[in-house]
Chain A
């Protein structure tokens, strides 16, 4: 069994549950980012904690939470005291010790005091928002830290004994050529983190970069994106980082279990504004607004946006669409068993087409995308959309 096939073996019957907590605070918005966040103040943080506790009280908690992920926003922006408070909240509901507990941090937020607090809370994994090692590109992204501060943060984490660290890097940035990117990538590899995420820049609606794009001030180059993707995959493989998803690479045994759990369409509980949940046959998202979210949970409601009951067909379809983004691919046999009534003939035909077109390999009941197929994962997903769910 592969390193990260942990949830898969439990697939039928027992489902594993993850916990995501969205911390909606950033010191300043980056020019590309569409995640829900705003500048914090003492009162907002106070109300946030109050509502978190209320929301936690609305949930039917499973016996055990397998993985925890604090994302944002910038969870690392909270004071050491607040980090400890959040940690206590997690431990109160998670049952035993989670297998994995990740926290997103920006380089500037990595202080010794915070590291201390996170260790004490039981955090096992840090995801560091490096983005780039080049001042010019950090600037172009509207990031606030310098490359030196990223190095410093990496060093502090290492010194504190955090060995499960991820670096987020971004490519296909305005003003970044192939060489710039390769240099960033090599720099990251040289620091030898356990995990590297490489995100191709997405122009999210209403961000500053999107505006620049629509004004024609910057351009998108799909050819370059394709080229950089392929080059990235090759370089990281050569450096001993195994790709397990479009944007994610890890040393053996270091894949992010929390994300795997999501992509395998298990259950997860999302707390905080804009957090999505999928649990007990339902899926829904919290409203992306601190005040409104506070009001919702105060009234005893949560995950009200896009609320949807999950039919076996829909769940199987999503397991397929999101599973194909992973290198391991998808085992169709258990999905078939989960949703026997769905139109599997259509999926088989589609699988045949993908295989013939060189976009997928099919071995027994498993289907996985080839590198070219992975570059077209959205097109593939679009074709699969509706096949099993309607």
Chain B
């Protein structure tokens, strides 16, 4: 067994600092993917990733690299997402690696997720290789980046490699540094086979495909395997590596990253972070697993057409198979009928999942206003969770409501400190301390209610700091708060799906904003329609939907009544893409749109 020629590393960075683009160059340089088939941001294989230009899932890939020392190395790379919603993907890949390339956009410098992800890597005792990327940009500021590395991350500036994923600068330096600086696979001497499950997905033909990092021993087709966490046994059908397509190989050995196919058909049986061992010669202790991730935001998802309920149910169940951070259960709404309450890691996660349901499963859905999970204590009773405003008990029976908070670290240039503090205050937050990062930047550590940052906090942060600010956060504790349920009425009828829980002092402002946006999003109607916000029956804001000005066609096609009927029918079909609530047609993406700050 020789692991000295293997290196496992991931690429981590703040969003958009160029991880996936740099991965392209590595794949190209090592001839892993031929020029001919290499696409831009090749590892972003989901349509949605390509379209939005962001990475959502981590992507492993194995490469061979003949190094300058004359030896041929096996390099296992994992590209990770930069967006805070998907930071659990970063944690998972870190656990399967010994080193990490930490990218810093030369024009942006160190940002919040740079720091957060660097700390995750340090925490896992990974060797971090700093790479100052995008140095081709005219606005690149190498001096500042180097200084930030030292001041903020305490990484010696001379360790930094200068690179550009776009222009292909520094690629060989990076590969050489990986070999020189990242240690060979650890823990390979453990006497039995131990394999970390770092991801899984479901394939309709082959069942569960386990993404695995072999720490010690080996595994091959025909072996009996045991999942140590739940004791489930199965037979290995196939093992292989990612190139990045799945490519079968005879055996996975210590240090390897690849996949396993077994008899297991349900992803519920395969817990991410579990340890696989051989059932013949089982290991005694498991590898260190992962913290479970919990959804932070909930919303109801309903089929636009009632008869699509089963289709939606199938879609949700299937997506859940590949995404353990996504949870759901059945619920019903007066306005929308039967559907599901779903939990997500954040708004981007929520948006991405909704989009996938629409596209990959072809179900038109409508979503309710998102909510965080509140803890509600009723007089003389117990405390319970409320993730749907509709379930908030009558105010008179409530003793106390608590809401989740987050601990945010916000990086901004000094000059925006004043405006930033006002934003934090406006969002009912407190600034716990400020740290100087370097001569030009500060880091604020703030506590904020989660529900306040959901909607437009990040956009506001970006606009205040002209794009130079960034934020990372983790869940904090619950704290009591003066919260009320705000109802939205369309044409006088309350629409439960639009209810939200808001802080009393902000109800009016948010109500006005919501009414205004909804009135704008709802297409012009035949009749005068009011959108109102109310608390406990008292109207606090209102707006009017635009009235349709003209919808008539001049010609009647002589006697061709059939043709006219067909045209009207087409028009009617068009409206079916919307949800008829009372007599108002509401577009299914109304709420996603309401949440967008544009």
Contacts and interface: CB of A to CB of B under 8 A. Distances in A.
Interface string A373-384: 011111111110
A71 B556 CA distance: 13
Contacts of B569: 385
B: contact size bracket? 20 to 34
A379 B526 contact: yes
B551 interface: yes
A359 interface: yes
Interface string B565-592: 1011101100100000001000000000
B558 A20 contact: yes
B551 A283 contact: no
B420 to A, nearest CB: 42
B555 A278 contact: no
B553 interface: yes
Nearest to A384: B568
B549 interface: yes
A380 B572 CA distance: 11
Interface residues of A, number: 51
B556 A325 contact: yes
A362 to B, nearest CB: 16
A265 B565 CA distance: 13
Contacts of B552: 200, 229, 246, 325, 374-378
Interface stretch (A180-188, A218-226, A289-297): A218-226
A278 B526 contact: no
Which secondary structure dominates chain A's binding surface? mixed
Contact of B561 (A201, A229, A318, A382): A318
Interface string A306-325: 10100000000010011001
B547 to A, nearest CB: 9
Contacts of B554: 198-202, 246-247
A341 interface: no
A20 B556 CA distance: 14
Given A222-B550, A353-B583, A376-B548, A382 B559 contact: no
Given A357-B526, A385-B565, A385-B572, A378 B559 contact: no
Given A223-B549, A357-B527, A382 B568 contact: yes
Interface in B114-147: none
A256 B560 CA distance: 17
Interface in B511-556: 526-528, 548-556
Contact of B558 (A247, A265, A276, A356): A276
A148 B250 CA distance: 89
A318 B565 contact: yes
A74 interface: no
Given A276-B560, A379-B526, A226 B550 contact: yes
Contacts of A225: 550
B382 interface: no
Given A263-B556, A382-B575, A278 B549 contact: no
Contact of B562 (A201, A229, A276): A276
Given A226-B550, A283-B562, A318-B561, 4 more contacts: A200-B552, A276-B559, A308-B562, A357-B526
**Closest CB pairs A-B (n = 8):** A226-B550, A357-B527, A226-B549, A306-B562, A199-B554, A377-B552, A276-B560, A276-B559
30 contacts: A202-B555, A223-B549, A225-B550, A246-B554, A247-B554, A262-B556, A262-B558, A262-B561, A270-B558, A276-B559, A276-B561, A276-B562, A276-B563, A278-B559, A285-B562, A306-B562, A318-B565, A325-B556, A353-B527, A356-B527, A359-B526, A359-B527, A375-B552, A376-B548, A376-B550, A378-B571, A381-B564, A381-B568, A382-B575, A385-B565
